[in-house]
Structures are given as structure tokens and as C-alpha cells.
Amino acid sequence: MILRIVRGRVAVDRVEGLTAALDASPDGHARMKPGLLRRHLGLRPLSGDEREVVLVTCWDTVDAAIAAELELDGVRGHDGALDGATLDDGMRGVAYFEVDESTLRRSEASADILRLSVGRVARGMDVDIQQELRQRMHLLEPEMIEGYVGRRILRNDVEIAFISAWDREPDGRSLDAPMWPDISAGYDAFEVTTFRPVVNAAVAS
């Protein structure tokens, strides 16, 4: 399975149009994409009148992920919801992560929190970290209803992503903090960000 992550910025006055375009009817264009299994659209506040937007989608094959012109790419002209400048000026790029058996799905319920954590290490140092994440993911609180561990190679480095969806923040744990400090301390660079989902969808039947 492939995770495709797109991050960018959107003005507050365009948020409603963006979400309407991406959460169209069940027969809409985006939900009929071949190979699209799952998608989450989340927002978080930035300074001023902007929001950061993230679109996380799950695909059954590499070809399906690459061939698809995903929602954020195709929505620019939808009733003026987004134009090229609005999206591209804040775009941080598209990232593809390979996921093997590192998938956990406890519920089809809509999430209240979408959490992204990404760490970078030198190639060859990632194997033990991935194994630890795969094992520990299944021991997390039941409030986590969905989770994925993925990797992508960046020249001499490897980025490891742990993407999780939660129905609420569990007691005694901050989702804005490292989940396991002993693991995050081993990264050369590490980032964790939480978003409020505005679209959750299990696309495939």
C-alpha cells in the first residue's frame, strides 16, 4: 500500500469551498479513483488568516498513487474554491510512503484528530526504528482508530512516517508530543503535527 501526503496552505475564506469540493457526493470524481482506499483531509490554524491543509490518501499500488491526479490537484478550478497561486505558494510538496504490514484499522468511525509524525535517519539506521513502531503501534490506547507506518528513501536518508487517526485525545497523553521519546530521539530530524479532520472516507468497498 502507498500513502500519499500533500500539504499546503489555504486562506480561511476558502476553507468552506475547499472542503465542499473534496467532500462531494459519494459518486463524485475523487471517490471513483481506481485504487483509492482511504482519505483524510485535515486543517490546522496558522498565523493570520491561513490554515495548513493536509490530504492523506491510501492507495493499493504505486501505479494507482502516481497515476491519480488527486483532489488537491484537480480542485483548483472548482467554483473558485482554490486557484493555483493559493495552493502552490504554500505547497510543501507531495510525499509517497511505502507501507507493508504496518497497518492498523480498528474502526471505520470518523476521526476527530489526525496526527502526522515524520522522522529522518541515515539509510541503514531505519530498520530497527520501523520494527519498533510496528510493534508499539498495536499497544496504543483504543482511542487510536487507524494507524500506518511508512517509509520513503531520500538519497542517503530514509524518512519514516507514523500516521494515526484518533477519535479523541487519550487521557494522560498529548498527541502534539512525541509518542515514544526514545524513538524520536534517534532521528536526525523529527516533526509531529496534528490536524482536525474535515473529510474522512473509506473509499473502497
Last residue of a domain, which of 36, 69, 96?
Answer: 96
Give the integer Cα–Cα distance in Å for 73 and 204: 21
Cβ neighbours around 67 below 10 Å, total:
12
pLDDT 10s digits, 120-158: 999 988 989 988 998 899 899 999 999 999 999 999 999
Give the integer Cα–Cα distance in Å for 144 and 111: 9
Residue 188 sits in the same domain as residue 142: yes
Residue 28 sits in the same domain as residue 47: yes
Task: Write down the pLDDT at residue 23.
Answer: 56
Average pLDDT over residues 69-90: 44
56 located within any domain: yes
- Global pTM value: 0.82
What the block records as the C-alpha cell of 81 is 474554491
Domain count, the chain: 2
Task: Tell me the residue range of the domain where 28 lies.
Answer: 2-96
Asked if residues 133 and 151 have their Cβ atoms less than 8 Å apart, the reply is: no
CB proximity list for 61: less than 8 A, separation 6 or greater: 2, 35
Task: Write down the pLDDT at residue 179.
Answer: 94
204 located within any domain: no
What the block records as the C-alpha cell of 128 is 530497527
Residue 114, strand partner residues: 165, 195
Task: Write down the pLDDT at residue 37.
Answer: 85
Over its C-alpha atoms, the chain yields an Rg (Å, rounded) of: 17
